[in-house]
Structure 1
Amino acid sequence: MEALLAFFTADFLGKATWLWLVFLIIIIALLVLDLGVLHRDQHEIEMRESLLLYSGYFTVGVMFGGWVWYELGAHSALEFYTGFLVEQSLSMDNVFVMAMILGFFGIPRRYQHRVLFWGILGVIFLRAIMIGLGTALVQEFEWILYLFGAFLLFTGVKMLFVKEESHPDLSKNPVLRFLRKHIRMTDELHGGHFFVRLPDASGKVLLYATPLFLALVLIELADLVFAVDSVPAVFAITQDPYIVYTSNIFAILGLRALYFALAALIHRFVYLKYALALVLIFIGGKIFLHGIIGKIHPLISLAVTFSLLAGGVLLSLLKTRDTAGQEESR
């Protein structure tokens, strides 16, 4: 009994083990409910269901922040909510990339949730590695936070003034070309399967990857690319690995649930890019201001971040309301 108690109270990355276990139990329960109950039968997810799913994930995330407030205090909770908001916002562009990848492979909507769901498992694992490495670097070399800040400032300024590049040609993607060269693949889908066994010309049954698997690989790689922005951004808010990781995962879970509604509306958020750029500049600037005016209170960080993002969304919706009305009238 004493050994078990010692395990639960042992320190792991700055927090008691039982705090990490509570988080993992919640995430596992959500994933089991999602795939094992709500989407046991593969079906096309409409906008209403997507919004309801997102509402559920968002509510759980907000409640978890309340629990963080109770267990770790208001300061940690405000940092969690700020990281939660920033991660969701920075991942908005990822929705467009996911839609482009799924469209390129011609994945029907009824199978898209399966790809996104299994992609979440990869995100949970990969983000853990990145955040673990980031934590070790920050603890060993505190000056690296200034490197993160400079990177965020550069990225924010670039987003403000550099025009968006044209859509990339996925057929020329080096990872996709490598996979097609080294893995046996089918040209067509086989239901919701990532792999199938099929006979070759000689009648020998071999294992083949389907386009569903290729879409999953590219979506995971896209998340790695976007994590290069989002992980330093959250580290600029807090260096607590528990807050960084939990806020990241809850935000990504909600965004994947919102994908089916957001993919159809992402074109309306024309000013969101500029709002995100200002958020990155603000977060990056905080690091350099710390040595001059001291640490900015997390409530101020949350208020500024929310105001910028809300302003970008509202201006975008007002700007595109005529376009939306024309689409509805068709």
Structure 2
Amino acid sequence: MHTIATPALWFVFGLIVVIALVIDFVVLRAGGTHKVAFKEAALWSVAWIALAMLFNLGLWYWLGGHVSAEVANETALQFLAGYLVEKALAVDNIFVFLLIFSRFGVSAELQKHALMIGILGAIVLRAILIFVGAALIQRYHWILYFFGAFLIYTGIQMVRAPNDEGDFESNPLMRWMRGHLRLSKEYSGA
């Protein structure tokens, strides 16, 4: 992988991500279990977007002192474009979260807690899948066709039965989890 960043810059980026997660979890714990109001959600969204834009500004400034202005501008624009694409894709995730929350009956007061745990799990699993997937694609190019076919299949399944909840209890994954993990059908506190 080609990168213009130094290991120190990657370390700073990783540190910023970890600090942001810690802040979010500390605030989550301090705020206790509560329903997140629109105003609170909007303020947090503005804060995280501002942090991303400050990071982009800092990246542009740092690159301006270490590489050409053209490379700094191009990299800052690429970051901005990538960030906007991720934000647009995050809207799709909201619908998935709402579906999961309604399917499992997660109350509005517990949704932020469940969301934070889900995001942390998603970060870890996404990192694993990116590295494993990149290695597989580099070694076996044909696997792209397999993944593409799988996406088409799941898309067709979603279109064919958009409101079909199916028998949740007979789902093979749920049966396996209930047999191997200590799961409860009821909530106990948070």
Count of residues paired in the alignment: 172
Deviation (angstroms), 1:66 = 1.9
Return the alpha-carbon distance in structure 2 between the equivalents of residues 30 and 119 of structure 1. 16
- Describe the shift of the 1:185–1:130 C-alpha distance in structure 2 as closer, same or farther (beyond 3 A): closer
Question: 1:45 — aligned with what?
Answer: 36
In percent, how many aligned pairs have the same letter?
33
Partner amino acid, structure 1, of 2:121: G
| TM-score normalized by the length of structure 2 | 0.73
Question: 1:64 — aligned with what?
Answer: 55
Match of 1:183 among 176, 181, 184: 181
How large is the Cα RMSD of the aligned pairs? Answer: 3.3
1:94 corresponds to 2:93: yes
3-state SS of paired residue (1:91): helix
1:166 corresponds to 2:162: yes
CA deviations 1:125-178 (Å, max 9, x no partner) are 22222333455467x47x95xx59xx5xx97xx89xx95741342615432232
Contact 2:57 2:76 in 1 (8 A): yes
Question: 1:77 — aligned with what?
Answer: 76
Return the alpha-carbon distance in structure 1 between the equivalents of residues 61 and 123 of structure 2. 25
Question: 2:69 — aligned with what?
Answer: none
Deviation (angstroms), 1:42 = 1.8
1:22 corresponds to 2:12: yes
Deviation (angstroms), 1:94 = 2.0
Gap runs ≥5 in structure 1: 1-11, 193-330
Return the alpha-carbon distance in structure 2 between the equivalents of residues 115 and 55 of structure 1. 21
3-state SS of paired residue (1:82): helix
Return the alpha-carbon distance in structure 1 between the equivalents of residues 49 and 6 of structure 2. 25
Which has the higher relative contact order, 1 or 2, with Cα contacts under 8 A spaced 6 or more apart?
1
Partner amino acid, structure 1, of 2:94: V
Question: 2:120 — aligned with what?
Answer: 121
| TM-score normalized by the length of structure 1 | 0.45
CA deviations 1:245-276 (Å, max 9, x no partner) are xxxxxxxxxxxxxxxxxxxxxxxxxxxxxxxx
